[in-house]
Amino acid sequence: MTEPEFAPADAGSRPLWLVAQGDDGPLWPEGVECAFAKASGFAAKPGQICLLPGEGGVAGALFGVGKPATPADRPARERFTLARAAEGLPEGAWHLAGVPDSYNLAHGALGWLFAQYRFDRYKKAEPPRARLVCPAGVDREALLAMAAGEYLARDLINTPASDMGPADLEAAARDLAARHGASVEVISGEALAENFLMIHAVGRAAGPGRAPRLIDLRFPGDGPAVTLVGKGVCFDTGGLDIKPSASMLIMKKDMGGAANVLGLAETLARLGRAGGLRVLVPAVENAVSGDSFRPGDVLTSRKGLTVEVNNTDAEGRLILADALAYAAEEGPRLLVSMATLTGAARVALGPDLPPFFCDDDAVAEALYQAGRDHADPIWRMPFWEPYEAMIEPAIADLDNAPSGGFAGAITAALFLRRFAEGAGAYVHFDIYGWQPSAAPGRPKGGVGQGMRAILHALPRMA
């Protein structure tokens, strides 16, 4: 994994002034000669750069950050505008010489680190050569830890299933554990058929070389009893209810929930805050073979509830259910699941705003505020009790895919909640885990969602 980095403080950096827009034009920084910038048409629009000439070349630069958001809690159209400076400035080290009062310096510096990410496992990809000296007044180690967790999540999601099957996901979890002194237990293959029948049923068709498994990480030390569960479907064909080929093109990302919880664990461990943390990842490939589970099958979960399979392409909730039941047996104070679970969530909120579900108002408010305050937007949706009947079929306790298509994200969340009973508070995130087109600090491909919201809400939640 590539390490995020700031430029050394003694790197001989050039000055970069961040310039906001006022009602009558740019709010020029004090002491900066602005005649050249005016003549160049610099208007301080978000992402606009003006290089300032000096003896022998570029002496510094101005960077536009636009007008402050109004009202203050309205999200800006671009989340990490300063990341454009990383892409657009000449090579070398840069330091922030002037920042508008309203500018969030930590967000800007984090976005710059995010912009340095490149996935270069299969093709050489040069990162931007402009480096930022860590600004005074921000928590350098926290920013580097958050960027490292994001890098790990992106790497895992971006790796194709040929190199990121269940065994490879286990190896990534073991690497994380080795870096931070965590323990790992894995139940795999036919051993799952004893107590984790739904994980086994979904993953058995992939064959022994890509056998399903349940990965269980525990971090030593005292801390709040927090368990993270991430969906690890390393590739999803849809099973016998097979997807159209176009819908399989980015199904390597169907382990995005696992990638996110592992990335969050990486950040927490680097910050010394992983004591007592548990991470569970049910890792499978939803393949097609003579051993595939079938529409109409009735599976018995670890909790004892029976589940009628009405769509083999709704496999994520099946493997999560067994893992959640296992986690809930310990009675954690906080239980969180993250999964690329439903298309309904994307229809409702799009790829950039993942919904989360939580019955505890205090926990939900802590998450929402942390997401808003730390450039990691999320949106609360309800566990809507009147829809419970929709997940109760005639011949089993539960239905994994109610007919009709209404409220798909809610019915999936209600299904999962049945298996989280015993936890103090339960939160479910229905993430996308993919950036469809490049944005500042977020290249096209795998992306973390909800990780920083959870990170910063944890002190209040747990």
Which sequence positions are flagged as catalytic? 243, 317
417: left (phi over 0), alpha (psi -120 to 50) or beta: alpha
- Tell me the torsion sign for CA atoms 171, 183, 453, 285: positive
DSSP 147-204: HHHHHHHHHHHHS-TTT-SHHHHHHHHHHHHHHHT-EEEEEEGGGHHHH-HHHHHHHG
* Cβ atoms of residues 212 and 205 within 8 Å: no
Instruction: For residues 150 and 368, give the distance between their C-alpha atoms in angstroms, rounded to a whole number.
Output: 19
Closest CA to 443 of 127, 110, 24: 127
Closest CA to 322 of 386, 205, 393, 400: 400
Burial 111-143 (b: 16+ CB within 10 A, else e): bbbbbbbbbeeeeeeeebebbbbbbeeeeeebb
Give the CA distances from residue 277 to residues 135, 152, 265, 274, in Å, rounded to whole numbers and listed in that order.
31, 18, 8, 5
* Cβ atoms of residues 264 and 272 within 8 Å: no
Instruction: For residues 334 and 292, give the distance between their C-alpha atoms in angstroms, rounded to a whole number.
Output: 34
H or E element that contains 420: none
Residue 430 has phi, psi (to 5 degrees) of -105, 85
H or E element that contains 15: strand 14-22
- Tell me the torsion sign for CA atoms 214, 217, 222, 225: negative
3-state secondary structure of 53: strand
Q: To 5 degrees, how large is the angle CA 449–CA 77–CA 36? A: 125
CB count, 10 Å around CB of 240?
18
- Tell me the torsion sign for CA atoms 286, 251, 226, 188: positive
DSSP 358-401: ES-HHHHHHHHHHHHHTT---EEE---GGGGGGG--SSSSEESS
Closest CA to 207 of 227, 190, 219: 190
Structure tokens at 301: 């979960």
CB count, 10 Å around CB of 161?
21
